[in-house]
């Protein structure tokens, strides 16, 4: 009983498991599709960085300050703005 209390179970580090910690957790989901090793996938998920939340918007609105637009109506700025507004 004393031996069991003093025994230290060494858990391998992510480095020792072959993971750098730089992979994102969704990479582990892709790994699971191709490799049917549940322990490997669990190790991957224990070592991964959480995915950033990605949000897609259906629309964007560009608000232009007319005073600054007047100041930008010179040279390349004007041409660039005309191309932007012509394509919308």
Q: What is the pLDDT of residues 35-84, one digit of tens each?
A: 989 999 999 999 998 888 778 889 888 887 776 666 655 555 667 767 77
Break the chain into its structural domains and give their ranges.
2-47
Q: What is the pLDDT of residue 61?
A: 87
Listing DSSP states for 24-73 in one string gives: BHHHHHHHHHH---HHHHHHHHHHPBPPPP----S-------HHHHHHT-
For the cut 70, the answer to whether the pLDDT of residue 5 exceeds it is no
Top pLDDT among 14 and 79 is at 14
**Dihedral of alpha carbons 29, 34, 39, 44, sign:** negative
């Amino acid at each position: 009983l004393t031996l069991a209390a003093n025994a230290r179970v060494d858990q391998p580090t992510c480095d020792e498991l072959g993971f750098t910690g730089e992979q994102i957790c969704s990479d582990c989901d892709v790994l699971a599709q191709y490799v049917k090793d549940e322990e490997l996938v669990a190790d991957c998920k224990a070592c991964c960085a959480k995915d950033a939340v990605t949000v897609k918007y259906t629309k964007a609105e560009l608000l232009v300050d007319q005073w600054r637009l007047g100041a930008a109506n010179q040279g390349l700025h004007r041409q660039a703005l005309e191309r932007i507004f012509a394509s919308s």
